[in-house]
Structure 1
């Protein structure tokens, strides 16, 4: 899986992780949150985008994204489940890299493209349970900007 950076171009997950560590080293006393969120858009096929955001709390952040496409998925539940599984997969890889690099305490949060308004409200409990059961914090709309803003920007 390759990631894109608006300023660094194409990166492997290891290179992206190096960029994240470099960003943290610029202000090591700041508080950070590592955010992973996915979104999708269906036309003839379904485009999936997974975003990774390193957020320096109160001071901005940097982001990376990975884009893939699959056959058209019409079921909203299936799309949300797949989006969440993509985010969890990337989170697991990054968590492993965090452990190996001596940063196991970095807060990792999964942003899910579901909310109390609209069609996805019936999926919240199941999807949040999937994320928290995997050991991560979950954020839903309107707080899930990693999915609903960053990833969404690249699905079209």
Structure 2
């Protein structure tokens, strides 16, 4: 089943940034991942996560695709954007999650069309301790409904560390 189709969740992630390659289109990111893993797919995993930061008049979002080579580190690509002011923590957390699910779904479709079976995980910037604990069950259910394994804090580094860095 799918991700919400509300207007707010429909974001075009067209321009990403790579620390090593600079600006890249979404298609170039997907292609870069494909070319990196093509001969050793069993050694890789993709993780998608997002974070947000409330500003005075808007909310700053960062969404990250991490390509992890198991036991050897990895690389990442990120996209930042602004949305209207989300005063509610629940709105922000749910938006982060739905953006991540949407992008992960696009990536999975890209791989499927190329007959690439690469695992994709979601990382949510929520945890069992603190104010986000009330969202854990629902968001893990959203991930499961969309056929993605998901991690939360303290295991969600893609959202809580990498994406967090780009919302500041």
Normalised to the residue count of structure 1, the TM-score between the two structures is 0.94
**What is the aligned partner in structure 1 of residue 112 from structure 2?**
99
User: Are residues 1:129 and 2:141 paired?
Assistant: yes
**What is the aligned partner in structure 1 of residue 47 from structure 2?**
35
**What is the aligned partner in structure 2 of residue 72 from structure 1?**
85
Task: Find the aligned partners of 1:99 and 1:29 in 2 and give their Cα distance.
Answer: 14
Deviation, 1:23, is: 2.2
**What is the aligned partner in structure 1 of residue 127 from structure 2?**
115
- The count of corresponding residues between Structure 1 and Structure 2 is 154
Deviation, 1:30, is: 5.0
Q: RMSD of the alignment, in Å?
A: 1.2
Contiguous gaps of at least 5 residues in structure 2: 1-12
**What is the aligned partner in structure 1 of residue 154 from structure 2?**
142
Normalised to the residue count of structure 2, the TM-score between the two structures is 0.88
- Structure 1 residues 29 and 98, CA, compared in 2 at 3 Å: closer, same or farther? closer
User: Are residues 1:55 and 2:68 paired?
Assistant: yes
Deviation, 1:101, is: 1.7
Deviation, 1:29, is: 6.1
Contiguous gaps of at least 5 residues in structure 1: none
**What is the aligned partner in structure 2 of residue 152 from structure 1?**
164
Task: Find the aligned partners of 2:66 and 2:22 in 1 and give their Cα distance.
Answer: 15
Give the secondary structure class of the aligned counterpart of 2:86: coil
Kept in 1, the 8 Å contact 2:50–2:97? The answer is yes
Deviation string 1:5-48 (CA, Å, 9 cap, x unpaired) is 111111111100111122224x6165211100000001121000
Deviation, 1:126, is: 0.6
